[in-house]
Amino acid sequence: MDKEGRQIVVPGETIVKGNEFLPGDNVYRDGEEVVSKRFGIVEISEKHVRVIPVSGAYYPRRGNTIIGTVVDVTFNGWLIEFGGVQNAFLPVAEVPRYINKNELREYLDFGESVIVKVWDVKSRGVDVSMKMRGYGKLEGGLIISVNPNKVPRIIGKEGSMVKLIKSATRCEITVGQNGKVWISGNSVEEELATKKIIEFIVENATINGLTEKVEKYIKSLGMKSEIEIIEKNTGEDEQDG
């Protein structure tokens, strides 16, 4: 059990016993027992047992929003490095406007960064798309890398945490599920403060009352948020996002 009474398990550890339990992510069945396959936190909802990892690399899932950088331009698309095992492929058909094959580099060149959505995960790699609203090339700003398993804490319940940071620092923030966060503000001070706040959240992600601590930390940096988080129990339970 950790400080909040959640069950932390290591690989090979028995989580529950009983045939009525259904093994979900990162667990397996061994006779009557449901056993963990990864180091992480147990989540049981309606007999569905899964383990949420606390550390380790990012594994892309369909629908995820990720931030990456172009490392190769082919005749029909771009290869995007995003911290995964393989690179992602952005086909030329998946960008908002028509690009003919001589224009690829003009539209998106080596080293340029993008926000894309994962629409297919295959063994040879991940396919992404940039067609939808809210996705596209990133201009300016900076990218920081954090433990991808802490991303839900940075976003907060229904985005409450990231809204809190935005209102205090007046920076644009986009959080990729892959642990890359894009920050863009009007001054060095505001951008650095945003970076510090996010790093604070990652470092304190497992403790109780995170939201209050973050508000205190923001104040200590000389900044003030215009949003009040009303529910005191936020920040602890959401593992979605």
Partner 1 sequence: MSDFIVPKLQKEKIIEYINQGKRLDGRDLGDYREIEIERNVSVNAESSVRVKIGKTEVFAGVKLGIIEPYPDSPDEGTFMTSAELHPMASEQYDIGKPGIESVELARVIDRGIRESGFIDFKKLCIKEGEKVWQVFLDIVAINDNGNLIDVAGLASLIALGSAKMPVYNEKEEKIEHELSNEPLPLNKEAMSFNITLHKINNSILLDVDKEEEAISNCRLSIAIGEANGKLRITAMQKGKEGVITEKDMENILNLVEDKWKEIFPKVKGYVFEEND
Partner 2 sequence: MAKKESLYKKRSDGRKFDEIREIKVKVGIVPSADGSAMFQTGKTQAIAVVRGPRTFHPQHMQNPEKGMLRVNYGMMPFSVWDRIRPGPSRRSEEISKVSEWALSSVVDLSGFPNAVVDVFIQIPQADAGTRVAGLNAAAMALAHAGIPMKEMISAISVGKIDKTIVVDVNKEEEDFKEGEGSTDIPIAVTSRTGDIALLQLDGKISPEELKEAIKAGKEACKEILKIQTKALKDSSNGGSNE
The site partner of 195 among partner 1, partner 2, none (C-beta below 5 to 8 Å per kind) is partner 1
- Its sign, for the CA torsion 88, 92, 93, 94, is positive
Interface residues toward partner 2, by CB under 8 A: 2-3, 8, 10-13, 26, 28, 30, 35, 37-40, 53-57, 59, 85-86, 123-124, 146-147, 149, 199, 202-204, 206-207
Does residue 42 contact residue 64 with C-beta atoms inside 8 Å? no
The site partner of 2 among partner 1, partner 2, none (C-beta below 5 to 8 Å per kind) is partner 2
Q: Which residue's CB is nearer to partner 1, number 150 or number 157?
A: 150
- Beta strand 113-122 pairing with 125-129: antiparallel
The site partner of 107 among partner 2, partner 1, none (C-beta below 5 to 8 Å per kind) is none
User: Shortest approach of partner 1 to residue 237 CB, angstroms?
Assistant: 32
The site partner of 158 among partner 1, partner 2, none (C-beta below 5 to 8 Å per kind) is none
Q: Which residue's CB is nearer to partner 1, number 42 or number 104?
A: 104
User: Shortest approach of partner 2 to residue 93 CB, angstroms?
Assistant: 25
Amino acid of residue 129: S
Interface residues toward partner 1, by CB under 8 A: 69, 71, 81, 109, 111-113, 138-143, 188, 192, 195-196
Nearest alpha carbon to residue 156 among 223, 233, 93: 233
User: Shortest approach of partner 1 to residue 16 CB, angstroms?
Assistant: 38
The site partner of 3 among partner 1, partner 2, none (C-beta below 5 to 8 Å per kind) is partner 2
Distance, CA of 184 to CA of 172 (rounded, Å): 5
E runs forming strands in 19-147: 22-23, 27-30, 33-36, 40-45, 48-53, 65-73, 77-81, 88-91, 113-122, 125-129, 136-137, 142-145
